[in-house]
Amino acid sequence: MKNLVGKVAVITGAASGFGLELARLAAKAGMSVVISDIEAEPLSRAEVEMKSLGAPTLAMRVDVARTDDVQALAAATLARFGVPALLINNAGMAAGGLAWENTAKEWDHVMGVNLHGVVNGVRAFVPHMLVAAKQSVDFEAHIVNVASLAGLQCMPLMSLYNTSKFAVVGFTETLFHDLALMTDQVNVSVLCPGVVPTGISRSERFAPDSNLQATPSQQLVRTLADQGMAQSRVSAADVAKQTMAAVSENRYYVFTHPEELHNIRVRADDQLQGRRPTDPFASLPGVTAYLKKALHTG
Ligand SMILES: NC(=O)c1ccc[n+]([C@@H]2O[C@H](COP(=O)([O-])OP(=O)(O)OC[C@H]3O[C@@H](n4cnc5c(N)ncnc54)[C@H](O)[C@@H]3O)[C@@H](O)[C@H]2O)c1
């Protein structure tokens, strides 16, 4: 989708990180922006900023895990601006720890936000896009579902997050095929970044049970994530820029960390050859030994 001027962008999780940077780019490209987030205060700051950029703006507090909230977001978008040309299902949160340590409540919560949030966005907006496409050959729309490299490779201590992102990757690829059966006017991309410093490092503020103490493995993974973020050479603004370029070029995969893709090939080879999974840290000597030591002594 080349021309964005005067069109409408809907972005979930738009009060921080990738979502906020994407909203900035959409506004600067001359789009009307519908920004939504679960956090009211940062959302109203983002609203002020979008308006100062001259973008017609609708800001709405939405919990993407709640179907009714996302349906209400679609209804409000249609009433104010009409059918959006760009939908970015971005809202998400992190979760870590040994695979058996996340509680049932955490599983429901994180799958609710990271997976059902994306599905809810697609269910609420795509039918309207398909009707608009049928009504006009000039209508074009693009959907970006935000997954992660964690949807393509299985780093240890991340089972809940990995599972949610693998599901987003599978859902989005199937959506790609389903859309192709129906129209060539509505397209989709999947964004798969590596670690980037954003508000995601403070995801515990969304934890469904705030009295729960982090386990040693959960503390370890937070420390490692903080270190990864501190060392990252990719910013949220870079991710947003590459995402908008992919929309413009109608590219399906948006990879912002190309140097980290080797594990995808190793994993595919393991599968094709029926091998046991290769250690994803095999190319980084000492990491697995460090993790074992930290888990056994900590
Ligand atoms: N930062 C990274 O390293 C990284 C890497 C790969 C993928 N991602 C993905 O990118 C997306 C954006 O994350 P980010 O890194 O910009 O983090 P972020 O915390 O800065 O932004 C996420 C936003 O989503 C909002 N949010 C959380 N739960 C919500 C809910 N239930 N309903 C609506 N909004 C909700 C938060 O309030 C926040 O504003 C997420 O899906 C995340 O999993 C992030």
How many C-alpha atoms does 8 have within 13 Å on its Cβ side?
20
Question: Which amino acid, residue 190?
Answer: V
Query: H-helix or E-strand containing 279?
Result: none
Cβ count near 258 (within 10 Å)? 8
Verdict on whether the full-model pTM lies above 0.75: yes
CA angle 99, 161, 214 (to 5 degrees): 60
Which CATH superfamily, name and number, covers 8-260? Answer: NAD(P)-binding Rossmann-like Domain (3.40.50.720)
What are the residue numbers of the active site? 161
Pocket residue to mutate for ligand 1, from 10, 11, 12, 16, most atoms within 8 A of Cβ = 16
Residue 86: phi, psi to the nearest 5? -135, 125
Which DSSP symbol is given to 25?
H
**Which are the contacts of 20, defined by CB distance < 8 A and separation ≥ 6?**
14, 46, 236
Pocket of ligand 1 (CB under 6 A): 12-13, 15-19, 37-39, 62-65, 90-93, 113, 146, 148, 193, 195-196, 198-200, 206, 236
- Quick one: which atom of ligand 1 is closest to the CA of 39? 37
Along the 298 residues of the chain, how does pLDDT read in single tens digits?
999 999 999 999 999 999 999 999 999 999 999 999 999 999 999 999 999 999 999 999 999 999 999 999 999 999 999 999 999 999 999 999 999 999 999 999 999 999 999 999 999 999 999 999 999 999 999 999 999 999 999 999 999 999 999 999 999 999 999 999 999 999 999 999 999 999 999 888 898 887 889 999 999 999 999 999 999 999 999 999 999 999 999 999 999 999 999 999 999 999 999 999 999 999 999 999 999 999 998 6
